[in-house]
Every structure is written in C-alpha cells, then in structure tokens.
A and B are shown apart, each in its own frame.
Chain A
C-alpha cells in the first residue's frame, strides 16, 4: 500500500458527499413538481427559487468534490 493508493481511496470516499446532495436535489425537485401539479398557476413564481435552492444544495456536493480535488492534487 503506497501513499498514491491511499490518496485515490480517500478521493473516492470523499465523493460520497454527493449522496447527500442527490437526496437533497431529489427532495427539492420532487416537492416542486408536487406544488406545481397541485397549483399549475404557481409555476412561474416558484421556478426562480427552485434554481436558487438547486444551486445552494448542489454547493454542499461541490464541497465534497473540492475535498476530493484537494486530496488528489494539493496534498
């Protein structure tokens, strides 16, 4: 077992942070579709904030990606 192997292993494990981001994005879009199918008139009102929520949730997954990049290329 060399350091390179542990680095690859650690980077792979760090990407597991995307599990949480995936669950969060599923919740956001699922609830958006539910809200719009109950009240189609609300589509325009929610659409902008849907993408804001999407971006903020995805940010947490991106932190995990950042850790993976740091393990692979910085340390």
Chain B
C-alpha cells in the first residue's frame, strides 16, 4: 500500500478503491470479473474452507482445524443467544453469515495490493437494506398489525405520545443509513490513513525507517477495526431483528 500508484500523483488516496476489470481474464468467458467480484469470491471461498472443509469429517474429539470452526461457531452462537434469546435460534445462520462475510472481506482488504470490498457504500447499503426489510417483513408476519405498537413506547404520558411516535419512527427509518455508513466510513477512512502515512514513508529512506513503527501500529489498529466493525455490523443486525422477533411492552 505504500507504493506510489501508476496514475501520477503520489497522493492518489482514493485510487485503491477503484473497481476495475481484471486484465488477466480479458477475452475469456470470465471477462465480467472485477477486482471487487474477485475478492468477494475469495471471501466466500475462505468461509467455505473454514466451515465446510474443516468440519467435513467431524469427530467427537476435535482436531486443530475443527476446533477453529467450533470457536467461530461458539462466538456466533453466543452473540445471537445474548441478544435474541432462545427464540433467535432460526436467525443464527443469517447473523453468522453476515459476520463472517464482513469479517473475512475486511481481513482480505488488509492484504497488500488487495481490494477492500466493504469500502463501497453500494454493497454495505444493500446488506443494510436487506436486514431492514427482513425486520419489517418478519415483524408484520409474526405479530400482524400489532407489531406497529413498536413505535409507541409504553408508559409515556398521552400528551407526549405524538412526539415519541415521531422520534421512534424517524430513528427506525435512519437505521439502514447509519448501519451501512458506519462500516463503509470506517473501512474507507482507515485505509486512507494507512495510505497517507505510507506515502509519506515512501518519500525518503530515513522517513521510511522513522515511520515504520507508526505504520506497524496503524496496521494493527486496522486489523482491530476490521474485526470490530464486522462484530458491530452483525451485532446491530441481531439487535434490529430482536425488534421483529419479540415485542416488548
């Protein structure tokens, strides 16, 4: 990431997020592949390796690879049962898929010369809108029109109720906006910071040596952010689904 890009200016900060067709597959049936699509396929491949291949011949006493899959499964199970309780069991695969997809995509994005899939708001917005529609669909299907009492909190004085309903409806409809923008903004901003410091380091040899500790620390921070944002994305999906599964009064 520290190298100067081909497009001339050393400070081409957003060039790393360009979606471009892959040159190697030109004039083949795979011409539709862009770098974004390629890294999404790689993400799914890693998840399949973790979850399907490693548990292919599962034993009662797990080996090394099976233990890894079980740790990941336990993590997702704990997340869902904390938020959704025992009614949330059917949503475990959905929340797990979201967490693993975002997490592995973010980790792929930390590899040098790779592409950060989650740095495009079109993808994160799509995921957030799917979750948002799911909440409304499941809520209405489980509770009927009674589900809309979600917007009227109980124990509020009647003269305050119109304002409360207004605020609740508003805060419900900005959910997909913040849900998608959080992931997109965190990944984009983190990679731009790395690029800025990396570009400074690439100017002179002494500067590069002096900035090496800062770059290592920032990369470590980016790995933390990659995990944390994936966790928060899945956690918020579970929290939003909890509104649809159970009505609190």
Q: Which residues of B contact A48 (CB under 8 A)?
A: 79, 82-83, 235
Query: Which A residues fall within an 8 A CB radius of B?
Result: 48, 51-52, 54-55, 58-59, 62-63, 65-66
Q: Which residues of B contact A55 (CB under 8 A)?
A: 182, 232, 235-236
Query: Which B residues fall within an 8 A CB radius of A?
Result: 79, 82-83, 174, 177-178, 181-182, 185, 228, 231-232, 235-236, 239
Q: Could you show 14 A-B contacts with beta carbons less than 8 Å apart?
A: A48-B83, A48-B235, A52-B235, A52-B236, A52-B239, A55-B182, A58-B182, A59-B174, A59-B178, A62-B178, A62-B185, A65-B181, A65-B185, A66-B181
CA distance A65 to B239 in the complex (A): 24
Chain B residue at minimum C-beta to C-beta distance from A63? B178
**What is the CB-to-nearest-CB distance from B84 to chain A, in angstroms, rounded to a whole number?**
11
Contact of B232 among A54, A63, A65, A66 (CB under 8 A): A54
Residue pair A51, B231 in contact (C-beta under 8 Å): yes
CA distance A62 to B232 in the complex (A): 14
CA distance A64 to B152 in the complex (A): 28
Q: Which residues of A contact B182 (CB under 8 A)?
A: 55, 58-59, 62
Chain A residue at minimum C-beta to C-beta distance from B233? A55
Q: Which residues of A contact B82 (CB under 8 A)?
A: 48
Closest 3 pairs (CB-CB, A-B): A59-B178, A55-B232, A48-B82
Q: Which residues of B contact A62 (CB under 8 A)?
A: 178, 181-182, 185
Q: In this complex, which of A48, A51, A54, A55 has the most chain B Cβ atoms within 10 angstroms of its Cβ?
A: A55
